[in-house]
Amino acid sequence: MNAVKWAGVAVFLVGMVIMGVYSMYPLFYQKVEESTILFGMKISLVLMGIGAAILIIAMSIERYKDWKKMKEEISEEDLRP
């Protein structure tokens, strides 16, 4: 995998870690407000969405480049029945 895909995976995993931390936060600190937990969950969902978008876009671009290269290698006459 190239650096862009690794960055997407890293951002997604950071979002998952933040979600895990904020979901366990009330176990250690009982006087936490619900707005704090919701804020952490929102941040984690945004990070996971950004990571997923990076991965989807990177894979789509890679697939398009492979398709374009394959189309150039195969001539039009070979594709006709």
The structure's pTM equals 0.78
Residue 37 belongs to a domain: yes
**Count of domains forming the chain:** 1
Residue 26 belongs to a domain: yes
Residue 16 belongs to a domain: yes
Neighbours of 26 (CB within 10 A): 13
Residue 77 is predicted with a pLDDT of 64
Residue 8 belongs to a domain: yes
Neighbours of 3 (CB within 10 A): 8
Average pLDDT of the segment spanning 46-75: 89
Q: What is the CA radius of gyration of the chain?
A: 21
What domain range is 54 assigned to? 3-71
Residue 49 belongs to a domain: yes
Residue 9 belongs to a domain: yes
Residue 23 belongs to a domain: yes
C-beta of residue 33 within 8 angstroms of C-beta of residue 22: no
At residue 74, the 3 state secondary structure works out as coil
